[in-house]
């Protein structure tokens, strides 16, 4: 029987409720946190290349601003919806909180398929969306960033449009910009680098020598490929990886750089010389030490989890593990490094970019990486301490740390008695 597809909005509400109950917070704390402070739906017309007008729908959710302005990505996707956007904004609140950033959570999306748009149409959609949101975002209010199917070029169009609206340059409006327009060095690799720092610290806790460890990557895109590169630098061996078109497995190991080159030439990792094809389910069942899910939500399900043999799962993607699968993995003793911690490197370096924009003073790549490492290690230790103190999973511990910080901020502001 097919597994039920869970509504992400309901999933995150359940996680918040559980954390509020475990922390003994007053009912008002959950009532505030269970929904966004502001959620906006916009419709805007765009002239297509053939001269016709098409109306696009977009959303922006600002979940909680107790710790600071809202922060989170903008995605362009044909299957996105309002509930997904609201849920992702809520996860962003706790992702920022758990690593100690002065941000609340935000998220946005436009329902479209960028693959069906010409470059000029994509630019007009980008500019139209930011015009529609213009009164609700800003460097001290809500700072967007790239997400699924958006990139630095789209951010450049958006910051240019917003600057024209306001009448002066606004580089701090959003992050993930091209370096020339105020982007930060190290941003492109930050999610992966942050994830591997957390994996490294977790390996120390269980006595796993990374120089003798094997790993597999689900989703050999930006986060997945860079995670593989950094794991290789730490001495670990990649034996499998995949993408949307297929997978490759070689128990003797595969060089991530060579696999990346193969993918650039062939459009997929499938068929990499010396490997055999492998499905996602087979990849997750491999006898590896570390799994890095770096693709989409809900890829580790209750049918996949029983077959997992890894000691550590480092969630480079958002929401790759369903709640049912999480419970199974916990019982099996798998150390799951939750997404709100393990994938927080991206928003951390986005924070660095924003700080640099506000100062108009920019850091070297080495400075960015050093600051990122310090924040990720400190956050892991804080979550691990909560995990030990409360006897809960690392995911629950991360939510406890994050929710407590937000609740404390709300109480200081007078939102809670």
- Residues with a catalytic annotation lie at 107
Euclidean distance between CA atoms 340 and 85, whole angstroms: 16
331 close to 20: Cβ distance less than 8 angstroms: no
| Chain centroid, CA 121 distance in Å | 27
Q: How far apart are CA 120 and CA 51, in angstroms?
A: 12
User: Angle between the 394-413 and 8-23 helix axes, to the nearest 10 degrees?
Assistant: 70
Residue with tokens 């806790």: 205
Burial class (CB in 10 A: 0-12, 13-18, 19+), 50: exposed
Q: Are 185 and 112 contacting, i.e. CB atoms less than 8 angstroms apart?
A: no
In this structure, the strands spanning 53-64 and 38-47 are: antiparallel
298-336 CB burial, b ≥16 within 10 A, e <16: bbbbeebbeebebbbbbbbbbbbbbbbbbebbbeeebbb
Other Cβ atoms within 10 Å of 168 Cβ, number: 6
* C-alpha to C-alpha distance for 379 and 356, rounded to whole angstroms: 22
């Amino acid at each position: 029987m097919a597994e039920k597809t869970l509504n992400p909005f309901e999933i995150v509400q359940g996680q918040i409720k559980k954390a509020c109950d475990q922390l003994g917070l007053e009912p008002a704390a959950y009532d505030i946190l269970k929904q966004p402070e502001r959620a906006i739906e916009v419709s805007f017309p765009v002239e297509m290349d053939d001269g016709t007008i098409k109306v696009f729908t977009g959303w922006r959710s600002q979940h909680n601003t107790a710790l600071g302005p809202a922060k989170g990505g903008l995605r362009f996707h044909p299957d996105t919806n309002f509930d997904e956007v609201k849920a992702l904004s809520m996860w962003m609140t706790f992702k920022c909180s758990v690593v100690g950033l002065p941000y609340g959570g935000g998220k946005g999306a436009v329902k479209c398929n960028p693959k069906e748009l010409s470059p000029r149409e994509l630019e007009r959609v980008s500019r139209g969306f930011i015009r529609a949101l213009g009164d609700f975002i800003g460097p001290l209010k809500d700072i967007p960033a790239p997400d699924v199917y958006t990139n630095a070029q789209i951010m450049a169009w958006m910051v240019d449009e917003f600057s024209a609206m306001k009448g002066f340059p606004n580089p701090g409006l959003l992050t993930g910009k091209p370096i020339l327009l105020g982007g930060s060095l190290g941003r492109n690799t930050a999610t992966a680098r942050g994830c591997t720092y957390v994996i490294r610290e977790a390996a120390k806790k269980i006595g796993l020598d990374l120089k003798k460890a094997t790993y597999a990557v689900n989703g050999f895109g930006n986060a997945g490929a860079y995670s593989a590169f950094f794991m290789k630098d730490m001495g670990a061996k990649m034996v499998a990886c995949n993408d949307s078109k297929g997978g490759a497995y070689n128990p003797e190991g595969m060089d991530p750089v060579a696999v990346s080159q193969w993918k650039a030439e062939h459009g997929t990792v499938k068929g990499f010389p010396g490997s055999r094809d492998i499905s996602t389910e087979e990849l997750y069942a491999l006898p590896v030490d570390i799994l890095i899910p770096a693709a989409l939500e809900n890829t580790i399900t209750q049918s996949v989890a029983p077959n997992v043999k890894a000691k550590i799962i480092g969630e480079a993607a958002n929401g790759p593990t369903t709640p049912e699968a999480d419970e199974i993995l916990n019982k099996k003793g798998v150390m799951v490094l939750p997404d709100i911690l393990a994938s927080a490197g991206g928003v951390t370096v986005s924070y660095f970019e924003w700080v640099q924009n506000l100062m108009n003073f920019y850091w070297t790549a080495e400075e960015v990486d050093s600051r990122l490492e310090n924040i990720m290690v400190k956050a892991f230790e804080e979550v691990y301490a909560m995990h030990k103190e409360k006897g809960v999973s690392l995911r629950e511990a991360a939510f406890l740390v994050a929710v407590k910080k937000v609740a404390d901020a709300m109480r200081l502001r007078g939102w809670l008695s």
